[in-house]
Structure 1
């Protein structure tokens, strides 16, 4: 079966700013993304009935190849927060059967040459962002991935990312005490996780020039049409160039 139906939601979400169409429901929708396809009534209210029907129609087909999406981001970058809450998380909610997401909180941070400092990392949006990055890295390490993504979505969609961390953890992973996350952040484990994220970010080829920076199946396509073609095993020459910036700002 062709991937066109399966990727309909993904493409609509990712191309909202590029002029190909609308991706997510208007704010009038009173349901969270995790419930958009729960019933026909909810899908209609949230204006995603077509996408939900296409996704549900293709789920029984186990031959459909999966999509691996990796997001390199910063916890306090406004554009990263918008991308996670309005595009990536809603898409993953509906396509998680065939879509694996890896989150790498680090972005444009820098590692000090000397680790003698109490703060071996400097971040684009200051020390609070370094703490936010480490909190989210620790949450990803300490909780099951699906729960971690829900917690990070909860944090990033809150007015204050850092203040929301503890309540979001309690909401989605009540069995994980905040003391474990706090110990991770304040101890060596948090620094080890951030160093690993730094290495992953530095290993990007081509190197990232901004965040959010997204790869599909470990490839940075030149545009979303290329992504669609690459997932079908087609590699047009035009898809080997530099990525195209959408009509939006970046951190």
Structure 2
């Protein structure tokens, strides 16, 4: 949200040039902490943006996606619905990713899991799971997962996507998680979350809102997750939700 506002401000000044902050974080993370804002020299702008957000007193819409890393339908939903919606509505929604889907906790070879799309998917699940990239990269996790899932090869994109969106997290740390006991323990946690679904999932992607699943909401999410999140949010709608109904100020250069 801050990055968008900053770019708009820059566009309205037309001919004026603005120096870009010199720091080691991508723009999406500039306002994630005071330390990062100071390093990137945008603390004043971040404070102004945070102070203007009227959405903090009402609970966010909690979107939880149960999916498989190599499932074509899951990849389409993440790249065409979930990530674009979160990019515009992250002030009023939270996203939890549970990569497991139709996997089974049945020992097979060197892994205690078997996956619908084979061993590469099990490894993909470990990389993407809250155990590893999601666990280690925090707020940047969804951006990394989107980067991977929208790439031609999900697994080969993991390292460059991590470097792009979470440069402070080393690939060796993620790899140690994937190949070690931590990854398996957290994969087991995802398995438990998936098995606990009520009603039980019958396919992926499987999406719950505020912890509940309905076929009606799933159908709406597949066609326009953005409209559904705006509809489900109980507080004052952010400008993105109401932009189609009001005449916005326009600026030209």
Q: TM-score range by the shorter chain?
A: 0.5 to 0.7
1:158 aligned to 142, 151, 154, which one?
A: 151
> Could you report, residue by residue, the CA deviation over 1:82-116 in whole angstroms, capped at 9, with x for unpaired residues?
0000000100111100100000000000001xx59
Return the TM-score normalized by structure 2: 0.65
Quote the residue 2:136 is aligned against: 142
CA distance, structure 1, for counterparts of residue 161 and residue 71 of structure 2: 19
Quote the residue 1:124 is aligned against: 116
Which stretch of the first structure deviates more once superposed, 196-205 or 62-71? 62-71
Contact kept, 8 Å, 1:80 with 1:212, in 2: the verdict is yes
Which stretch of the first structure deviates more once superposed, 149-158 or 215-224? 215-224
Cα pair distance change 1:152/1:36, threshold 3 Å: farther
Deviation at 1:119, TM superposition (A): 1.2
Mapped pair 1:180 → 2:162:
no
CA distance, structure 1, for counterparts of residue 203 and residue 64 of structure 2: 14
**Pairwise CA RMSD of aligned residues?**
2.7
Mapped pair 1:74 → 2:68:
yes
Quote the residue 2:103 is aligned against: 109
Quote the residue 1:99 is aligned against: 93
SS of the residue corresponding to residue 157 of structure 2 reads: helix
Deviation at 1:135, TM superposition (A): 0.4
Deviation at 1:143, TM superposition (A): 1.1
CA distance, structure 2, for counterparts of residue 152 and residue 116 of structure 1: 26
CA distance, structure 2, for counterparts of residue 206 and residue 200 of structure 1: 12
Give unpaired runs (5+ residues) of structure 1: 1-33, 43-57, 233-251
2:204 aligned to 211, 214, 225, which one?
A: 211
Deviation at 1:152, TM superposition (A): 0.6
CA distance, structure 1, for counterparts of residue 100 and residue 121 of structure 2: 9
CA distance, structure 1, for counterparts of residue 192 and residue 84 of structure 2: 28
Contact kept, 8 Å, 2:61 with 2:232, in 1: the verdict is no
Contact kept, 8 Å, 2:108 with 2:114, in 1: the verdict is no
Q: Which has the larger radius of gyration?
A: 2
2:185 aligned to 189, 192, 215, which one?
A: 192
Contact kept, 8 Å, 1:37 with 1:94, in 2: the verdict is no
Cα pair distance change 1:61/1:162, threshold 3 Å: closer
Quote the residue 2:194 is aligned against: 201
Cα pair distance change 1:37/1:92, threshold 3 Å: farther
Return the TM-score normalized by structure 1: 0.66
Quote the residue 1:133 is aligned against: 125
Deviation at 1:230, TM superposition (A): 6.4
Deviation at 1:37, TM superposition (A): 10
CA distance, structure 2, for counterparts of residue 81 and residue 40 of structure 1: 34
Deviation at 1:118, TM superposition (A): 1.4
Quote the residue 2:35 is aligned against: none
